[in-house]
Amino acid sequence: MTELKNDRFLRALLREPVDVTPVWMMRQAGRYLPEYRATREKAGDFLTLCKTPELATEVTIQPLERFPLDAAILFSDILTIPDAMGLGLYFAEGEGPRFEKPVRTAADVAKLGVPDMQQDLGYVMDAVRLIRKTLAGRVPLIGFSGSPWTLATYMIEGGSSKEFARAKGMLYEEPATLHQLLDVLARAVTDYLNAQIAAGAQAVMIFDTWGGVLTTRDYAAFSLAYMRRIIDGLTREHEGRKVPVILFSKGGCQWLEAQADSGADALGLDWTLDIGRARARVGDRVALQGNMDPCVLYASPERIREEVAFILESYGKGSGHVFNLGHGIHQHVKPEHAAAFVEAVHELSAPYHA
């Protein structure tokens, strides 16, 4: 494999010294970029974009051509696994993801099996391989998956939800059925991330987008426990290098200590938490990734710089910080503002690593 020219991101995740704080943006390949919108248009629809390795590679690389980002992230959808399980993923115009066959009963759950990663999700692995080849060692590539609980919410609700009435209905009324669903999902996510690592992903991230809607007890039992099991089953070294794992439970800041014991190398933080306090809470157990409010990117480049400076100062000296937004970049942000953000992180962080 080609030598990695910029390994700041991997080093920071392992709390090894770096020259400046590495930075990338969740959803950096996205609708705020006109070139993304052009490729999306060319693809015709979102799923074709995800399922065509050449197009997925194209949009994965786009933000790197504009900004000196320290990592690329596989362009894909969070719901590829349930789709491969036969639920019939589709995107209703303006309504987000939907499933033709939601999972509502124990019988529905019993029918589910772990997909074959090469046959059913081969397009993802093809994209990983093609992106790695195209990157040619420029920056590391991040693979990812939704967490079992997060995937389960979409599968049970049949799409997005605000109140999670059905998913939580199952949690409270039929916990054994939900556990069975989470079990098959945990096995599938483990295989999925390992297949991405085998194909060339140099770090992986688990997105627990909906972990934060659970009670403290249920977060531990229905979300974190399954993420821990996945992390236990992951390939942690490949191509002679460690493959760091990032765990991100949005809205889960009160459970950082438990997350730090999950086996993950790094924790994603949303923007509500002060990163300095988060660091004090987790100590040297894990690195931290985050955590600027994506809405700061609506403000002027000067204001963006100010916020970057504040977060760098809050984190303090030393490695173990990957700068990011606390959630995906919004569609209506100006690309010049994203540029100002990335530039500010590199420029202002050097003194913290001297």
Q: Which two tokens stand for residue 71?
A: 């990592």
Of 90, 123, 298, 352, the one binding a second copy (CB under 8 A) is 298
Residue 55 touches a second copy, criterion: CB under 8 A: no
C-alpha R_g of the chain? 19
Q: Which residues are known to be catalytic?
A: 27, 31, 40, 77, 154
Report the distance separating Cα 191 and Cα 181, nearest Å: 16
Residue 106 touches a second copy, criterion: CB under 8 A: no
Helix (H, G, I), strand (E, B) or coil at 16: coil
Residue 332 touches a second copy, criterion: CB under 8 A: yes
Residue 300 touches a second copy, criterion: CB under 8 A: yes
Helix (H), strand (E) at residue 324: strand 321-325
Buried b (16+ CB within 10 A) or exposed e, 37-73: eebbeebeeebebbbbbebbbbbbbbbbeebebbbbb
Helix (H, G, I), strand (E, B) or coil at 184: helix
What string marks each residue from 200 to 239 as x (binds a second copy by CB under 8 A) or -?
------------xxxxxx-x--------------------
Residue 330 touches a second copy, criterion: CB under 8 A: yes
Residue 313 touches a second copy, criterion: CB under 8 A: no
Report the distance separating Cα 68 and Cα 241, nearest Å: 23
Q: Which stretch binds a second copy (CB under 8 A): 20-28, 67-75, 118-126, 160-168?
A: 160-168
Of 104, 164, 179, 241, the one binding a second copy (CB under 8 A) is 164
Q: Which two tokens stand for residue 44?
A: 């015709």
Judge whether 186 and 152 are in contact, CB under 8 Å.
no
Q: Which stretch binds a second copy (CB under 8 A): 1-9, 106-114, 163-171, 190-198?
A: 163-171
Q: Which stretch binds a second copy (CB under 8 A): 99-107, 125-133, 158-166, 282-290?
A: 158-166
Q: What minimum distance in Å lies between the beta carbon of 242 and a second copy? A: 32
Helix pair angle (53-66, 335-349), 10° resolution: 60
Residue 168 touches a second copy, criterion: CB under 8 A: yes
Binding residues for a second copy (CB under 8 A): 163-165, 168-169, 171-173, 212-217, 219, 251, 253-254, 271-274, 277, 293-296, 298-300, 303, 307, 330, 332
